[in-house]
Chain A
Amino acid sequence: MQAEKILFIIFAVVALASALNILLQRSPLYGALSLIGTLLALSALYMTLRAQFIAAVQIVVYAGAIMVLFIFVIMLLNVPKDQPQIEKQKGLRYLAIPFAGLLIAEMFFVLRPIRLNTLPPISSGNAEQAVGTTWSIGTALFTDYLLPFEVTSVLILMAVVGAMVLARREGD
């Protein structure tokens, strides 16, 4: 078995185990820390797919900025653990698990005929312009995808203003 498959299996197991740990933990703080583990493992998988820029952004933006915001809010609110006494429709809720099995079976049935086994070879000479480098992402982002980029900046501005309005105390 090649080194690449071993690396994939290690990071896939880390990602799945920390994702399952989110479901097993009662405290949201430990759930958030497990999600950071999943995000770091996914970032390593992006490196194996030659998506270096996305791997770096995953760590900086997701594991860095977004998860820090989550942990900040969890600590600010001093969130109580899941209280088991107020359980409504308990049996109905656990129907989710058989349906999850069904969803998995369906997805693997769809994935079965896929026979694509190798990444495309890197063309020699312009390795720094290959797909996934900062050069290729930046060039595409500021030429073909300029409109989505600008719309994103408007969206971020709206989110900042909206978050301030929503989290403000009444009467301030």
Chain B
Amino acid sequence: MNDLRLRRARRPLPSRPLLLGCVATVALVLGACGGSSSDKKVAAGGFASGLPTDGQKRGGTLKLLGSEGFFHLDPGGSYFQLDYMVTYATQRPLYYFKPDDPKTAVPDLADGPPQVSADNKTVTVKIKSGIRYGTNKKTAITGKEVTAADVKYAFERGLNPSVANGYEGVYFPLVGADKAKGGPISGITTPDAHTIVFKLTKPFGATTARALVMPLTVPVPKSYVAPLDAKQPNPYDAQPERQAFTGPYMISDYKAGKTITLVRNPQWDPKTDFKPAYLDRIEWTIDADPNVAGRQIFSGTGLANADTPTAGAVKRFATRAKDRITFTPLGNRFVGVNTQRKPFSDINVRKAFAAALDRRAMLLARGGPLVGQLATHFLPPTIPGYDEAGGAKGTGADYLANPSGDPAVAAKYMKLAGFPSGKANGEKVVMLGENDSPAKETAQITRDAIASLGFDVSFRLLDQSTLYSKFCGVRTELEKIDVCGFAGWLPDFSDPYAMLTANFYGKSITAVNNSNASLFDDPAVNAAMDKAALIADAGDRAKAWGAIDRRLVDKVAAVPFLFDNVANIASKNVQGVVGQWIASWDLAYTSLK
């Protein structure tokens, strides 16, 4: 099992910044989206682009083959890539990223862009009329119109431990949320049936507005769902076919760990939605062997992958069926070192390590150029601020100049760190890594780089879940470890805030569930992040975060080595359309040929 599949299943996902209400109109937002044409079918290298085109066929059944199951299909808990594929096909969040334009979120349930107040502490959203709930069995809410109160309840239940939303507290600092455990939140009001107002505890509106693409914003009718939320486990999650659906599809059948089937939602009105919803039915098989699935998709018809294909399948498609494989950039990978413990608390040792690390070997170990490009900083190409941070060229730091490693530069920094010979004297370094390929191989390359500096490396490999939840994510444990092989991030939405704060903000260091692998806590960087989070203007925001990215490289908060490319494969009669912001099929746009 490769770690990318696990990684995809466990990490937050990317999106793109919303245009703010005070600077944009719906027309402008929609106008920013690219049109569709057949010349979009092919991407660089002759691979399929994964973009929507004119004249896609309506009807038919798509079969998805995946090896992983779902974590949470309740939109309140949905936080992982596979969950998102279903949630965004069956539900309507306030905003949505069209597959071909990951840079601009467009109103979905919302009726126009979010309005952010001048003090950046209030966000107001108008909701469309005429959107109705569909259910599998007729209930009191079947055909009932969605109101702002339903979005309000979605946020309230997110804090209920039976729903346990993982990011509400991060992106929505709502007034009164600290006291809410599933009940009313004073910071959310609904002045009328189609308006919802979020009052924030701090001037965070610019970032909150961008986070309104998250599944938490999917409306949830309180009268129907509150009784379910009182149960443990929550049936709205465990039996998702019981949900009230607003999207073009409904979950008609779900067998945990086996299959899920989506059918058309009869209450969905295409006049209220821009999604084409070509397919009649989507049948998703879970637990398929990835080696077999890759061959079935290659030889069969009407099939596509649900999660990351194996390296063998990628190679087969890339050489023999280029027009049926897509590569989509997503996220970053880096090596975090403990910046609060010797020897890596010394910035010169960190620079020496960066210089010694053979990042090209790391890329090759992961599958070569098809799987990504060498990283020289932390903001990937799809995230605003990438260019401002130096783009592909990087920041110019000499310790990252040679991707194959530079022993002379490493020795220079070791001398500056107080090792006159340019090598350490066998001081002990504790390192943990993942035991699945290819993470195992990259961990071994990292170990060799540290050892080449003269350190004595104590090296242990563990499975990813254990590594994170018992060691790298637990501060007291992490403080005793020099290198914890947990490296990489997929942002929740395509904004540099969502990309950098989780890993490098001082307040991200927590007792448990810690995501700051380097224990990096630099007051100047923290202050710069606080300031940049308030910036509403997209250009200014990208500049500010690009500068922060540069500063992270200067401080060697970690050593970046890869910007990922995610592969998706499909059978010959499938026109797979990839939601660029999550690098997975957008089921509302994918069709048969």
User: Real complex partners, A and B?
Assistant: no
